[in-house]
Amino acid sequence: MDSTVFVLDDDDSFVRAISRLLRADGFEVKCWTSASDFLADHDPQLPGCLLTDLLMPEMSGLELQRRLLALGSQLPVVFITGRGDMSMAVEGMRAGAVSFLPKPVNRTKLIAVVNEALARDEGTRRALGEQQRIRELVASLTPRERQVLDLVAQGYRNKQIAAELGTAEKTIKVHRGRLMHKLHVRSVAGLVQLLGLCEEVRVMRLDPVHAPAWPTPGTASL
């Protein structure tokens, strides 16, 4: 799916001018002059970035950014304004804005920042897709395999896992081989690295009372 630059400004003439400029450089563009209309139309599944005015009468760009974050949106934001101050710029950047551009906008700078924002969005979506893939792989494990997985990743040896779960060591070897196959990894280091990409999976614990801390990737022992 192609990425889109979402342009929002209460100044209709500025919206028309910036959209023409972006389209001339080959970008797909959608425009709004109302923040509430943008929120009503916003689809977080659509890749792209938001280019928005900072100071608008209905809703400020910072408030819009906060609302998007509250909705769980990962949409990269670029602020443009002719009246913003440094404190606003700092707040927006701390909240994850890509850049803060003053009006009148420098065309070269604008294109560079938009490309940066779209690249960030692509990277975020790729990472989220990888996390979902890992969650699905882990979900395919049996309950016993998940128990073994947690202890292997924490650095337990097969003999220790067998004692922990009250079963034979050879049985643990079978479970371990199956889970490694299902997760498409060949080593404990690879396993820990895989789980480290997905925090929801990484915090698994068999028994939070006595389970050891999660090891640094590459330190788990065989």
The domain spanning residue 165 has which CATH number?
1.10.10.10
Q: Domain count for the chain, please give it.
A: 2
Check whether residue 10 and residue 86 sit in a common domain. yes
The pLDDT, as a whole number, for residue 168 is: 94
Element at 101 (helix H, strand E): strand 99-102
DSSP secondary structure letter of residue 27:
-
Q: In this model, does residue 211 exceed pLDDT 50? A: no
Check whether residue 85 and residue 26 sit in a common domain. yes
Check whether residue 146 and residue 187 sit in a common domain. yes
Q: In this model, does residue 208 exceed pLDDT 80? A: no
The pLDDT, as a whole number, for residue 130 is: 84
Check whether residue 116 and residue 9 sit in a common domain. yes
Check whether residue 55 and residue 154 sit in a common domain. no
Q: Which residues have CB under 8 Å from 7's CB, separation 6+?
A: 15, 18, 19, 22, 29, 30, 31, 32, 51, 52
Check whether residue 42 and residue 11 sit in a common domain. yes
Check whether residue 24 and residue 43 sit in a common domain. yes
The pLDDT, as a whole number, for residue 212 is: 33
Domain end call among 83, 108, 129: 129
Element at 76 (helix H, strand E): none
Q: Residue 194's pLDDT band (boundaries 50, 70, 90)?
A: confident
pLDDT in tens, 28-83: 999 999 999 999 999 988 999 999 998 888 899 999 999 999 988 889 999 998 77
**Domain range for residue 32?**
4-129
Q: How far is CA 147 from the centre of its chain?
A: 27
Domain end call among 75, 110, 129: 129
Check whether residue 123 and residue 145 sit in a common domain. no
Check whether residue 92 and residue 144 sit in a common domain. no
Check whether residue 124 and residue 166 sit in a common domain. no
Q: How much is the pTM?
A: 0.69
The pLDDT, as a whole number, for residue 88 is: 77
Check whether residue 122 and residue 162 sit in a common domain. no
Q: Which of 17-21, 72-76, 122-126, 184-188 has the highest mean pLDDT?
A: 17-21
The pLDDT, as a whole number, for residue 172 is: 93
Check whether residue 85 and residue 178 sit in a common domain. no
